Amino acid sequence: MIPRYQRILFWSLVGCILLMGAFLLHGCREAHKRLTALNDATPIAAPTAAATEEVNLYFASDANATIHSSRAQVALPQDTSLKARALLEHLLAQYSRPDSAHPLQSGPSVDDVFLLADPAHPNAGRITVNLHGSFADTHPSGIEVEQLTLDSIIGTLHAAFPEFNEVRFLVDGQVRETLAGHASLDRTYPLLDTTAGPAVPSEAATQP
């Protein structure tokens, strides 16, 4: 026959074990929650001095082959080269939205932008845009769609950097013949306002 005090002690200890088990389980859950909260995939923004600026973005529309400009507030770094790259990345990222009028795949688009000003000629600088290889590889193929992407970049650069007058494109640091089989990347483009849409044929322009 087990004494009464031993039975009380036994059940008290069993109760303690269950309580401790519940406490441990609760602690584990809390710790798991804390750890997954830290494990967010969002990259931490680089510590650059970025001030929000109002910029003109030139957007392409495939339906009627036009470029229209629209003003936007974008946080841009102070350094000119980083600013140009951030501006173009922001512009091209808009095209991967579901409601885009000129759909492009999302992903890295611009590797670097180099701005080469000519001190002797104040308005004769050249911008070199080094596109990411995957951007060119996944770009839709066609004369209209490729030219609109170039016109969108050219117009936006012209509005943001009026002191530069021409642009060249590289892909992964190399000269490539075309963007995706059509629009030539093997030439220098003048930086100008690209908002003028496609022309319509006219009877007046037929005579020499």
Partner 1 sequence: MVKRNPAGMHMESAENSPGAGTTRFRLSGAKALSPSYNSKNVIQQRNHLPATVAAVLLTALPLVSQAPPPPAPPAPRPQPALYRNLIVLDPAHGGRDKGSQISANSAEKEVTLAFAQRLRPALVAQGFTVVSTRDSDPADELTTDQRAGTANHVRPLACILLHAAPAGSGVHIVTSSLVPPETTPPPGRAVMWNRAQAPVIPMSLRLANEVGLTLEAANLPVLLMRSSVPPLDNLTCPAVAVELAPLKGSSKNATSAADAGYQQRVANAIAAGLASFRTHNAPPPNAIPSMASPRAGVAP
Residues of this chain that interact with partner 1 (CB under 8 A) are 62-65, 140-147, 177-178, 181-184, 186-187, 189-190, 198-203, 205-208
Beta bridge partners of 110: 131
The full DSSP string for 45-100 is: PP---EEEEEEEEEEEETTTTEEEEEEEEEEEESSHHHHHHHHHHHHHHHTTSTT-
Residue 55 vs 185, nearer CB to partner 1: 185
Helix (H) or strand (E) holding 148: helix 143-160
Query: Least distance to partner 1 from the beta carbon of 184, Å?
Result: 4
Rounded least distance, CB 34 to partner 1, Å: 48
Minimum CB distance to partner 1 smaller for 4 or for 187: 187
**Least distance to partner 1, CB of residue 138, Å:** 13
Residue 76 or 153 having the CB closest to partner 1: 153
Here the tokens at position 57 are 């973005």
Q: Which residue shows structure tokens 């642009």? A: 167
Least Cβ distance, residue 37 to partner 1 (angstroms): 43
Query: Could you tell me the smallest distance in angstroms from the CB atom of residue 111 to partner 1?
Result: 23
Q: Give CA–CA dist 164/166, Å, rounded.
A: 6
Both tokens of 63, joined, read 């339906």
Nearer to partner 1, 164 or 189 (CB): 189
Q: Which of 51, 49, 55, 83 is nearest to 69 (CA)?
A: 55
Closest distance between partner 1 and the C-beta of residue 193, in Å?
Answer: 14
Q: Is residue 87 within 8 Å of 160, Cβ to Cβ?
A: yes
- Closer to partner 1 at the Cβ: 76 or 154? 154
Handedness of CA 193, 94, 77, 130 (dihedral sign): negative
